[in-house]
Amino acid sequence: MEIRRQLTLFLQNESSEIVEKIRKKYNPKQFELIKAHVTLCREDEIENLDQILTNIASLKEKAITIRFEKLERFDNGKGVYLKSDDAQEYHKLRQQILKTIIDSPREQTPHITLMHPRNSICDNEIFEKISTEKIPLSFTFSEISLIEQEKGEKWKLIKTFRLTN
């Protein structure tokens, strides 16, 4: 059975409303599979789950804020996301979670996918419509979620970890 696990930062509360509205309208399949999020650690990085959970339990980080740039298209224009080029808190959190497991974690650009090219296609008209929305460019995350997906089905929440306040 193919099971994928990831650590994820879900958008919280009212800050996610406009993003979810866009996702529901233009990418309903992905909207059904998973809520709007920023992937923190991918499945190949958290194979040693016991150590990952130990590292998370020892975190001293408070809630983190990620500031995103403008809306962009990717994958030959088929996908749409917000990406961040300045996410020091995000990278520090990744390093703390992956310590003793991966000495030099790969560079990962935090992003929020609005239209995933796997199951939607953006065109110029759609991108123009999305561009007129007042999407927040800064999001604060106070929880890390361990999630799991079986055989391409809907992602399930396994456990939530609060960042200290």
Query: Each residue of 22-79: pLDDT tens digit?
Result: 999 999 999 999 999 999 999 999 999 999 999 999 998 889 999 999 899 999 999 9
* Res 1 pLDDT > 70: no
CA distance 10 to 37: 4
Largest pairwise CA distance in the chain: 47
Mean pLDDT, residues 102-128? 93
Q: CATH number of the domain that 55 lies in?
A: 3.90.1140.10
Domain count, the chain: 1
| DSSP for residue 43 | G
Full domain range(s) for residue 81:
3-162
The pLDDT confidence band at residue 93, using thresholds 50, 70 and 90, is: very high
pLDDT on residue 165 = 60
pLDDT of residue 4: 94
Tell me the average pLDDT across 80-100.
Answer: 94
Of all residues in the chain, what percent carry a pLDDT higher than 90? Answer: 85
